[in-house]
Amino acid sequence: QKDKSIKTSDDKPEYVKEMLENRKARMRKIILTSVIFIVVILFSTMFAIVNKNSTTFLKGIHLHGVDISGMTMNEARECFNEMLSVELMPELTYTHGDYTVTILPEQIEFKYDLEDSLKEAYEIGRNGNIIQNNYSIIINSLFGKKQEMSYTYNEELLKSIVEDINSKLPGVVVEPSYYIEGEELHITKGVDGLAVRKDELKTSTLIELRKIAES
């Protein structure tokens, strides 16, 4: 009597076994990837909800050189109101030899746009979708976010002050001129001298007005 052996799964050809193993490996990767994806989504959603319900500025947020992390809007507003009142008090003085001129912030209607700057800083990590918000939160927490405060000023008043400085500066350039008297043409020769670099003076004035006053 002939022996009849019973075939088992181990009797499958090698290529079939390899194919099944590859399929199992792919399934394990798909399942693992799905689990990770679901966990990330859940974590991101919870992270975004917690941050959205928070009433304080994100960690790492600096406005005008001040760390406002963890402050509420009112706390930050109070802090800046006090600081900016001191910052804008000092006079800005320029000298050239015996010539001295003083510029005050109110002379050019210089003022910080505090409310818009605070709102812009507060919206960081809140004004995008979940992925964008979480990215902002993590990046700002790790590396910080420095934001300058916006400001306004009267360009015409500043230009007028600079023109006045340029005209009163000792040794200033005198441009050639002429006038007619009767039938005679009178010409006045120009004089070489100093001239204010107007754009540079305007820029430096604004920079100085933005600096935080030393306590």
Kindly report the length of the chain: 215
| pTM recorded for the entire structure | 0.59
State how beta strands 145-147 and 61-63 pair. parallel
- At residue 117, does pLDDT exceed 90? yes
So what's the pLDDT on residue 193?
Answer: 43
- At residue 215, does pLDDT exceed 50? no
pLDDT tens sequence across 165-203: 777 766 554 444 545 565 555 555 444 444 556 677 777
pLDDT tens sequence across 26-80: 888 888 888 887 877 776 677 667 666 788 998 899 998 899 999 999 999 999 9
CB 140 within 8 A of CB 59: yes
